[in-house]
Structure 1
Amino acid sequence: EFILEDGKYITEREVEKMSKSKYNVVNPDDIAEEYGADCLRLYEMFLGPLEQSKPWNTQGLSGVYGFLKKFYNLYFDGDTFSVSDEEPTKAELKVLHTLIKKFTFDIQNFSFNTSVSQFMIAVNELQKMKCNKRAILEPLAVIISPYAPHICEELWEKLGKNTSIEFEKLPELNEAYLVEDEINYPVSFNGKMKFTLALAADLDAKQIEEIAMSNEKVQEILAGATPKKIIIVPKKIINIVF
């Protein structure tokens, strides 16, 4: 609505539920025609908790569409389908099993929107790693298939499978891949963080203190001063007071 007041146009906006009487209905067929049924399905899950009312914003579809392209491109090298049978790295397995854990919890609690967020995080991380390992990409397609069945069915066929992905069992979580071997400790001096120090996750406080005090950066910042107190919280922080 445009209101003329003192020579200026003031705009007002009203958010309402879709209704034929309000002439604000969005035809899902039009969305599916432009973006694809998977994109529409995934976007509806991404909008928010099922029990809440959510504003419809067509602009949000482009973000989901971009995610689906990234996901699809994991299986390709340019225009060529390219999936390797190499063993996945520990980092790649951690990304996959972090996703499995989140997905399993969300399905049980009907939190579909947070699953989609985790899909996006996982695909971004795997893209950065340039992962094209079959041991990662096959279960990834199975996990995403309830949300985007058409694209996953196509990828499943390209992976050489003769049966539908619909009948494939969901991958099982292995907590061992989620255990941290290394911790990045923030090293603080008088409460101000200066740098991080990567240390083995199984070190005790005494071992952490010995390694930290022998570090070149620590000695450089101390400049010969003797610390009054060294606070070590295993797997969290190193704070040196001087």
Structure 2
Amino acid sequence: KLDIKGFKNWREEFKNAIFILDNGEIYNPTTPPLLEGAGGRTFTVSREVEKMSKSKYNVVNPDDICEQYGADTLRMYEMFLGPLEQAKPWNMAGITGVHSFLKKFWKLYHNSPSLGGGQGEDFYVSDNPASKDSLKTLHKTIKKVEEDIENFSFNTSVSTFMIAVNELTAQKCNAREVLEPLVILISPYAPHIAEELWKKLGHKESIATAAFPSFDPTFLVESTKAYPISFNGKMRFTLELPMDLSKEAIEKEVMANEKTIHYLEGRTPKKIIVVPGKIVNIVG
């Protein structure tokens, strides 16, 4: 339903607007009593997807968005909308999500241990070695972003950055070994915030001159496997075991586990099926 008063107040040029109805009748909202409830009538409007055009009064001024959210938010949001070759409906509802992501990304570099791991305003990046999980997250991101840039799939790159920031935040990562390559990765997408962080990291030259991070597949090699442990085909629990264990060693570890002893209730299994790297099923 069309909110007449809201529509008139939306833009200056609509304040004295009149409406031509489907039946050719001219409706002037400023004429009493139509101003109050349109004389008891309800006007139903539909949505139409069109290109932005001044003649259609549907242009969104990018300066207004930059003023409210920043140029990096607008830049990333436009890429996040979908593939470049496709037309996308403009919807401001999602821009706040991209803006929140950039704030979360900024906080990764301002996570001081002096605040108990909390988020502060002081810049803090550690020179301590990064954890295996953080390095895995970084190189998984490098691989995906490289592929996306080659395919012009910038929208999935933005999604990958969001996943990476969530994972690194959960890991409480503040290692330079991870955060420095990450800011280079995101710099083509959010150049202003990346340049600011690059300077804070101690670099005098522009981030545009920095070499693109190299993907190392060794960090994505799984060293452990969460084996689903089943009893007569029903999965009861999972057990984390090294990937290089032999079939016999896996069986020994599973049978010695306290949860296995609990579910067996003193019974001797008739058969133990072990598929290395996949499952363990105890029958009987």
Does 1:205 find its partner at 2:239?
no
Aligned residue runs from structure 1 range 111-150, under 5 A: 111-150=153-192
**1:149, CA displacement in angstroms?**
0.2
Deviations 1:161-196 (A, max 9, x none): 010000101011111111111111122223322111
Number of the residue aligned with 1:232: 274
What per-residue deviation string (whole Å, max 9, x for no partner) do you get for residues 62-96 of structure 1? 11111101111111131111111111121111111
- 1:109 positional shift: 1.2
The alignment status of 1:17 with 2:51, answered yes or no, reads: yes
Match for 1:177: what amino acid?
F
Distance in 2, matches of 1:113 and 1:175, equals: 24
Match of 2:78 in 1: 44
1:160 aligns with 2:202: yes
2:92 aligned counterpart, secondary structure: coil
Larger Rg, first or second structure (1 or 2): 2
Provide the alpha-carbon RMSD of the alignment. Answer: 2.2
Relative to the length of structure 2, the TM-score reads 0.78
2:38 paired residue number: none
202, 222, 225: which one aligns with 1:180: 222
| Pair 1:213–1:82, CA change in 2 (3 A) | same
What TM-score do the two structures reach when normalised by structure 1?
A: 0.91
* % identical equivalent positions: 61
> Which of 257, 264, 273 pairs up with 1:215?
257
Distance 1:193 1:25 in 2: 56
Q: Counterpart of 2:99 in structure 1: which amino acid?
A: Y
Aligned length: 240
Which one of 97, 102, 108 corresponds to residue 74 of structure 1? 108
Tell me which residue corresponds to 1:97.
139
**Structure 2 gap ranges (5+):** 3-40, 113-119
Q: CA deviation at 1:31?
A: 1.1
Shift of 1:130: 1.5
Q: Which residue of 2 aligns with 1:34?
A: 68
Hey, what's the Cα distance between the residues in 1 that align with 2:281 and 2:46?
Answer: 53
Q: What residue is the counterpart of 2:16 in the other structure?
A: none
Residue-by-residue CA offset, 1:130-167 (whole Å, 9 max, x unaligned) = 11111111111000000000000011111110100001
Deviation of 1:11 (Å): 6.3
State the Cα distance separating 1:99 from its structure 2 match. 0.8
Q: How far 1:226 moved relative to its partner? A: 3.7
Equivalent residue letter for 1:82: Y
Structure that is richer in strand per residue: 1
Which of 71, 85, 91 is matched with 2:127 structurally? 85
Q: How many Å separate the matches in 1 of 2:59 and 2:270?
A: 68
Taking a change above 3 Å as real, the CA distance of residues 30 and 199 of structure 1, as seen in their structure-2 partners, is: same
> 1:18 & 1:203 partners in 2: Cα distance?
61
